[in-house]
Structure 1
Amino acid sequence: MAVSKAFERFFAEAPGHAKAWMAAVQGLDQASGLDKKTEELAYLGVLAAARLPSGIAFHVQSAKAAGATREEIIGAVLIGLPAVGAGVIEALPIALDAYDQSGQ
């Protein structure tokens, strides 16, 4: 799966911090009551609403691997449209390109 260049650099340049970060991420993942697909789709909605494009491709690929359809990806990206406005639309091309380029 595609990890952003920033995360590649983070893991290479700050391995101790990266290890601690990943332990926290894994702990939160285990604590979640959501199934993997739902969790990834929800996270996509958060990334789009927060205008954080760097993780979108990775999480689209994770969602797709967990069984998410292209339509579900679109819905997840656009779920914040009424609450935060048209800014979420900027995430749509990134998400769809990642979905269309990943295998399966």
Structure 2
Amino acid sequence: MAKGFELFMSEEPELGKAYGGLVMQVAKSSALDQKTQELAYLAVLSALGMQGGLDFHVASLKKMGATRDEVRSAVLVGLPAVGMTAIESLGAALDAYDGAEG
């Protein structure tokens, strides 16, 4: 889990609870299955250059049965739009996949 997110959750527990509720509601109302939703989220994180949450989300994907190729492909979805920002997340995501329990 990203250190900034951990700090947010510990310093602002009420806001953290509200944020968690939002996250759960977004997932609940999605037409996507859980694995596809998580792959899409990984693509968004990578496109924004937010590497702090990659370990957590890639480990979650691996537990859901995502392959290394699916993780790599999700990271690179944003390549045409954001270029190098997406590529910067590739190594971190694949390292997280290789180190995660499945």
| TM-score > 0.5 by shorter chain | yes
| 1:15 corresponding residue in structure 2 | 13
- The C-alpha deviation readout for 1:30-83, integer Å capped at 9, x for no partner, is 001111111111111111111111111111111111110000000000111112
Q: Aligned pair 1:91/2:89, yes or no?
A: yes
Q: How far did 1:101 drift?
A: 0.8
TM-score by length of 2: 0.94
Deviation of 1:24 (Å): 0.6
Contact 1:60 1:95 in 2 (8 A): yes
The 5 A counterparts of 1:26-65 are: 26-65=24-63
Q: Percent identity?
A: 50
Equivalent position amino acid for 1:49 in 2: A
Structure 1 position 85, deviation (Å): 1.1
DSSP-derived class of the 1:43 partner: helix
Q: Secondary structure at the match of 1:17?
A: helix
Long gaps (5+) in structure 1:
none
Task: Figure out how many residues of one structure are paired with residues of the other and give that number.
Answer: 102
Q: Which runs of structure 1 show a deviation greater than 2 angstroms over 4 or more consecutive aligned residues?
A: none
